[in-house]
Structure 1
Amino acid sequence: MSRLLRSTLAKSCLAAGAVVGGTIIYLDFIKPKRKSLIVDSYKPLRKDYPSPPTRKELVDQLGGTKKFDVLIIGGGAVGTGCAVDAATRGLNVCLLEKTDFASGTSSKSTKMAHGGVRYLEKAIFQLSKAQLDLVIEALNERGNMLRTAPHLCTVLPIMIPVYNYWQVPYFFAGCKMYDWFAGRQNLRSSTILSREQAEALAPMMDITNLKAACVYHDGSFNDARMNSTLAITAIENGATVLNYFNVDQLLKNDKGELYGVRATDLETKKTYEIKATSVINATGPFADKILEMDEDPQGLPPKQEQKPKMVVPSSGVHIVLPEYYCPTTMGLLDPATADGRVMFFLPWQGKVLAGTTDTPEKFVPENPIPTEEDIQDIIREMQKYLVFPIDRNDVLSAWSGIRPLVRDPSTVAKDGDSGSGSTEGLVRSHLLVQSPSGLVTISGGKWTTYREMAQETIDYVVKNFDFNGKNIKPCQTNELVLIGGDDYSKNYSARLIHEYKIPLKLAKHLSHNYGSRSAMILELYSSSDYNKLPVTLAASQEFIPKHLEVSPENQLSYQSFDEPFTVAELLYSLKYEYTRTPIDFLARRTRLAFLNAREAMSAIDGVVEIMSNELNWDKETKEKMRRDAVKYIGNMGISPKKFDVEQFTIK
């Protein structure tokens, strides 16, 4: 090497060293430091959120509004999503739900905000652009859910056990492609774990023949609470949102054009004629019921039940097990069950969620019930991965939901075939159609894509209906933070503990389900010793106030204190979240019935007594509410050896 070249290299090295050194000095000693995160994460708790309109006030708005811009039928994920989207654009919105928010499919999902690794595999091997588009769309919306509802959604690592060496690169490549298609929305990078690492993270897993484990990341969330949060967010933005309102008839003019509905308040039995510029059918698996009414010139439902044309119904069952059946911070994925499906075993709300099955249905049941065969099917599949036997009595709860799989009604064969059969190959995409009367129907999809489906629907309505020159904003929901997400941080439970001196389990439960609204519940909690009681003890002889009746079924035990659902939470739910029945509270505002059906059964009497006192029920209404709750929860997978629904005794 020449002397000149050595001299040049030396000078270059010195120059580079000087630049690096100068940069380090600037960054470490000269540049001002950022303020500590404690400044933002420990803002004062807000306890003064205004009360929403009462249900009566919302009902009164029906009579006080000559004509709504948008009327939505259905209060599930997509219906409430449409209400939020339309209301935040400045449209006058009315939403009617026959039962309660998330009373159907929207409370019975796998609780995952995900793109769908199964669909990615199909997209690659079947060269299906439709499948790939669905994955990319869902991955984008997954990021939106985590951003707009940070208290309800969290990132969850999911482990895929691999028992053959040749499958290790196959599964890892699939995980990396999943990361790649997520783009900037990717949550965390996928990785491979050794046999020993997998055993350390999941000691309950059988590693006898395990070669490695691939780990990718998706989102986990509380579906029913997300649904009620959307409904209340819509109300806060001016929408008239009502549960327990049944649409009896679609109203049409002489030209057959839809101009509104006739609906009945199921609480007062009073009927209302509600007019609207546009009507949206967002009833999920029940979309065909509204379409059948639309086919009738008078807008009335058929006298006999019809086979669905748009919806291809399929029931999926999930079970819940104690927390020791799965790692507390990581889920497991069975990528290929005996019938070709995938099955998840996921930590959720302090328990383990396992599922799902896939059973084609000819009709859409109002309240599908899991069969013992379905429960045993999940247990058998899960047993392949565990080093200890699964006890049927450990099944704390089970439920069945109808997937809103759809196809264009115009493609249905003339012989009336409903398309029943295996649904494993169907894509979970959605369908948006308008009938000749003007009825707009949105159906299909999945929870993860609810926001995009709502945006597409309202975009269509704005484009195709005349709102008399009204100034309508573009879609706002990409940036809108849902109620409870404002000022929320992942350490919010610590703030609650410091302020109210409550147990960690209660703090986590409230912060992860109510976010920044938790302090309002804890204000009620702190106001009396009675409000601090678990709802399972609310009707116990030793605690019940004198003005409430006493039921002998509730007994004190350690288990009674195991679930963090309190009287204060019930009182908050009644005032702020439109809870109207014990099932609303036990199954949807809280998830007690989904997490532990036996404990939920023990809480029925206390919840009925408190609600009766708050809502002024008569004796007949109280008994009906109690019977309905017993029937509903009694069908949620409690072991027949442990429970007698007719006698309502836990043995």
Structure 2
Amino acid sequence: MSSRTARFFQSTLFRSTAAAGAVVGGTILYLDFIKPKKKPEIVTSYRPLKKNYPVPPSREDLVKNLSGDDGKKFDVLIIGGGAVGTGCAVDAATRGLNVCLLEKTDFGSGTSSKSTKMAHGGVRYLEKAIFQLSKAQLDLVIEALNERGNMLRTAPHLCSVLPIMIPVYNYWQVPYFFAGCKMYDWFAGKQNIRNSTILSREQAEALAPMMDTTNLKAACVYHDGSFNDTRMNATLAITAIDNGATVLNYFQVDQLLKDSKGQLYGVKATDLETKKSYEIKAESIINATGPFADKILEMDEDPQGLPPKEEQKPRMVVPSSGVHIVLPEYYCPTTMGLLDPATADGRVMFFLPWQGKVLAGTTDTPLKTVPENPTPTEEDIQDIIKEMQKYLVFPIDRNDVLSAWSGIRPLVRDPATVPKGKESTGSTEGLVRSHLLIQSPSGLVTISGGKWTTYREMAQETIDYVVKHFDFHGKNIKPCQTNELILIGGDDYSKNYSARLIHEYKIPLKLAKHLSHNYGSRAPMILDLYASSDYNKLPITLAADETFTPSHTSISPQNSLSYQSFDEPFTIAELLYSLKYEYPRTPVDFLARRTRLAFLNAREAMSAVDGVVEIMAQDLKWDDATKEKLRKEARQYIGNMGISPKKFDVEKFTIK
């Protein structure tokens, strides 16, 4: 190369370097000195607490909406108040449709309250998708990963990110599991919440000292979402009401009403509290009853819309029972879950921190029929204990099982492909957890299957279908709004909301976290109820063995706000708030679903029954016979939630 050429290249390189330096320097100058700075986070996340949320209509006012002017017709009538049913109600109401939802018992009383409490894509489905070359499984994973991000965004107070550790006991499995975790991240795309990583044996042991690390080689960690399922369900119901929907629990659909052409135009339903019957008309009817979808389909097959006289085997739903147990917090790391990727029968099992306890499960037992109130068997409980014991350095005490429950997993198939008499279920292994949307000749739209994580997309697909196939007489219907809609309690909420409660009310951290993570920005109203309620003048015995006087101004060992008189997250103010804003109608509604006490510690919930009955009776005007009936029902329900036989008198439904 000539000297002239060399000088030319040197000159060009110098100019290029200078230009690049100028660009970098100019960018730094702009970003650091010229571009306006964002406001400090304290300005946006530490605003004064909002306490003036309006009181929703009473149940009596909602019932009046059913018997208005003659000829009144709802645009959409939804049967079923679980995750998908209430999700459909929110979606339809926010589009401007006139919505009615009827739930036979309480919101989320079935499958929707008995999940694994995870907003997740499903690592096991990803493994099946890859090794079985199943597009259906892969589509489910991608759909659920996308909806996981939506749940974390639209209900930030109820959903949080949870790291999950996979212990690896063979060297060859380390790259295998880690590759699976990274694919899980990759398929999440922009919705990925955090990147997977590998921990050494020493790191895993430090994070999980209760885990047996004798033969541990490493641990892979991926991330999913954790949430409070029934709090989410109740929040969806009151969000729908807040947007104008008529949402009612304890309303039983007795008959589907059909015209002379066999087309549906409404339902006949009974208010189970007053026993009054209503004829409710609607342009479209949605069957969102989850595991009980076949019950409504059977009514639809009858020319008169009546249920069959004899029990039928399900044709659409292939029921499977999943059991979970709850243990004290020392059985698992407080900030990280554990995943058993290969149990003795080929399933996966989770051990997760949840609400200050440890949730373990689930089993998978095929059923021939769908029970109204499934209960866990002692064999199911022992199966989970046996599986969990493989990972622990100390023995599991059966008396440590605080609660247990059984939920029905609604795996589905097209009923048109299942002739009557051929309903035999067999194994559920080959069924995908995707959902199914069908319309019958009468016009009944049925949505079933799926899982909690995909509830919003299932609701959107259902309402999209209804809008497209039914005539709403020129009504201006908005597109789906739920992708961005913040659910009640999530507005004005930030992850440090508990600090705001502590500064305002001078309460302990444990109570502040409990209220903020379960009620979000509505928590201040609960704390204010102490000051305004007559109950702060009277000693009342509830979840604790001691008597205390609720007050947010005085601190004492007997004050429930101090949390020194009992361990479980339950306060009288939550009951008062729930009665005013969340429509509980029985003690079980409150103890199991508005709060999660029965799911967290059945023995403590049992001791709280009498106090809850007394307070609810004053508010709901129960007579002595009603009080005794509901007291007995609550004890029976809680008594079937896995309390050790050594601790529970099954004849008297009392703790020994």
Counterpart in the other structure of 2:553: none
Residue 336 (str. 1) matches residue 342 (str. 2)? yes
2:148 to 142, 165, 168: 142
Counterpart in the other structure of 2:126: 120
Counterpart in the other structure of 2:318: 312
Residue 52 (str. 1) matches residue 92 (str. 2)? no
Counterpart in the other structure of 2:593: 588
Counterpart in the other structure of 2:417: 411
Change in CA separation of 1:3 and 1:405 when aligned onto 2, cut-off 3 Å? same
Q: Distance in 1 between matches of 2:639 and 2:524?
A: 33
State the Cα distance separating 1:255 from its structure 2 match.
1.2
Further displaced range: 197-206 or 524-533: 524-533
Counterpart in the other structure of 1:161: 167
Counterpart in the other structure of 1:521: 526
1:295 to 301, 318, 337: 301
Counterpart in the other structure of 1:197: 203
Q: Distance in 2 between matches of 1:520 and 1:263?
A: 35
Q: Deviations over 1:83-108 (max 9, x none)?
A: 00111111110000000000000000
SS at match of 1:154: strand
State the Cα distance separating 1:32 from its structure 2 match.
2.7
Residue 604 (str. 1) matches residue 606 (str. 2)? no
State the Cα distance separating 1:12 from its structure 2 match.
3.6
* Aligned residues of 1:535 and 1:607 also touching (Cα < 8 A): no
* Aligned residues of 2:50 and 2:521 also touching (Cα < 8 A): yes
Number of residue pairs aligned between Structure 1 and Structure 2: 639
Counterpart in the other structure of 1:550: none
Counterpart in the other structure of 1:390: 396
Counterpart in the other structure of 1:552: none
Q: Distance in 2 between matches of 1:360 and 1:531?
A: 50
Counterpart in the other structure of 1:232: 238
Residue 132 (str. 1) matches residue 138 (str. 2)? yes
* Aligned residues of 1:317 and 1:398 also touching (Cα < 8 A): yes
Counterpart in the other structure of 1:473: 478
Q: Distance in 2 between matches of 1:540 and 1:357?
A: 34
Unaligned runs of 5+ in 2: 551-561
Counterpart in the other structure of 1:505: 510
Q: Distance in 2 between matches of 1:542 and 1:142?
A: 42
Change in CA separation of 1:350 and 1:536 when aligned onto 2, cut-off 3 Å? farther
Residue 321 (str. 1) matches residue 299 (str. 2)? no
Q: Distance in 2 between matches of 1:337 and 1:180?
A: 26
* Aligned residues of 2:439 and 2:445 also touching (Cα < 8 A): yes
2:28 to 13, 24, 28: 24
State the Cα distance separating 1:340 from its structure 2 match.
0.7
Q: Distance in 2 between matches of 1:601 and 1:138?
A: 36
2:376 to 365, 370, 387: 370
**Pairing 1:418-567 to 2, within 5 Å after superposition:** 418-527=423-532, 530-531=535-536, 537=542, 542=547, 561-567=566-572
* Aligned residues of 1:539 and 1:605 also touching (Cα < 8 A): no
* Aligned residues of 2:540 and 2:611 also touching (Cα < 8 A): yes
Q: Deviations over 1:455-476 (max 9, x none)?
A: 1111111111111111111111
Query: RMSD in angstroms over aligned alpha carbons?
Result: 1.9
* Aligned residues of 2:536 and 2:549 also touching (Cα < 8 A): no
Q: Distance in 2 between matches of 1:540 and 1:122?
A: 50
Q: TM-score, normalised by structure 2?
A: 0.95
**Pairing 1:595-634 to 2, within 5 Å after superposition:** 595-634=600-639
* Aligned residues of 2:540 and 2:548 also touching (Cα < 8 A): no
Q: Deviations over 1:384-434 (max 9, x none)?
A: 1111111111100000000011100111145x2324222123110111111
Q: Distance in 1 between matches of 2:91 and 2:229?
A: 18
Unaligned runs of 5+ in 1: 546-556
1:43 to 40, 43, 47: 47
Q: Distance in 2 between matches of 1:51 and 1:642?
A: 41
Q: Distance in 1 between matches of 2:587 and 2:418?
A: 40
Change in CA separation of 1:539 and 1:120 when aligned onto 2, cut-off 3 Å? closer
Q: Distance in 1 between matches of 2:87 and 2:19?
A: 58
State the Cα distance separating 1:3 from its structure 2 match.
4.5
2:255 partner letter: Q
Residue 358 (str. 1) matches residue 364 (str. 2)? yes
Counterpart in the other structure of 2:559: none
Residue 575 (str. 1) matches residue 580 (str. 2)? yes
Q: Distance in 2 between matches of 1:88 and 1:9?
A: 61
Q: Distance in 2 between matches of 1:31 and 1:68?
A: 53
Counterpart in the other structure of 2:37: 33
Q: Distance in 2 between matches of 1:387 and 1:493?
A: 34
Change in CA separation of 1:425 and 1:536 when aligned onto 2, cut-off 3 Å? farther
1:264 partner letter: T
Counterpart in the other structure of 1:548: none
Q: Distance in 1 between matches of 2:330 and 2:541?
A: 23
Further displaced range: 399-408 or 248-257: 248-257
State the Cα distance separating 1:544 from its structure 2 match.
8.6
Q: Distance in 2 between matches of 1:564 and 1:475?
A: 36
* Aligned residues of 1:252 and 1:299 also touching (Cα < 8 A): yes
State the Cα distance separating 1:333 from its structure 2 match.
0.5
Q: TM-score, normalised by structure 1?
A: 0.95
Q: Distance in 2 between matches of 1:441 and 1:339?
A: 33
Q: Distance in 2 between matches of 1:533 and 1:488?
A: 33
SS at match of 2:633: helix
Q: Distance in 2 between matches of 1:390 and 1:543?
A: 34
Counterpart in the other structure of 2:640: 635
SS at match of 2:325: strand
State the Cα distance separating 1:31 from its structure 2 match.
3.0
State the Cα distance separating 1:256 from its structure 2 match.
1.0
Q: Deviations over 1:16-39 (max 9, x none)?
A: 334333433333333332210000
* Aligned residues of 2:542 and 2:610 also touching (Cα < 8 A): no
SS at match of 1:250: strand
Q: Distance in 2 between matches of 1:333 and 1:405?
A: 23
SS at match of 1:307: coil
Counterpart in the other structure of 2:275: 269
Q: Distance in 2 between matches of 1:467 and 1:408?
A: 28
Change in CA separation of 1:6 and 1:182 when aligned onto 2, cut-off 3 Å? same
Further displaced range: 247-256 or 16-25: 16-25
Q: Deviations over 1:603-642 (max 9, x none)?
A: 0000000001111100000000100000000000000001
1:182 partner letter: A
Q: Deviations over 1:40-70 (max 9, x none)?
A: 1111111110000000000011001611111
Change in CA separation of 1:389 and 1:536 when aligned onto 2, cut-off 3 Å? farther
* Aligned residues of 1:112 and 1:219 also touching (Cα < 8 A): yes
2:161 partner letter: V
SS at match of 1:312: strand
* Aligned residues of 1:539 and 1:609 also touching (Cα < 8 A): no
1:395 partner letter: V
Q: Distance in 1 between matches of 2:322 and 2:652?
A: 29
* Aligned residues of 1:534 and 1:561 also touching (Cα < 8 A): no
State the Cα distance separating 1:73 from its structure 2 match.
0.4
Q: Distance in 2 between matches of 1:120 and 1:365?
A: 31
* Aligned residues of 1:319 and 1:398 also touching (Cα < 8 A): yes
Counterpart in the other structure of 2:96: 90
Counterpart in the other structure of 1:70: 76
How high is the sequence identity, in percent, across the aligned residues? 87
SS at match of 2:642: coil
Q: Distance in 1 between matches of 2:479 and 2:323?
A: 39
* Aligned residues of 2:537 and 2:549 also touching (Cα < 8 A): no
Counterpart in the other structure of 1:549: none
Q: Distance in 2 between matches of 1:282 and 1:221?
A: 22
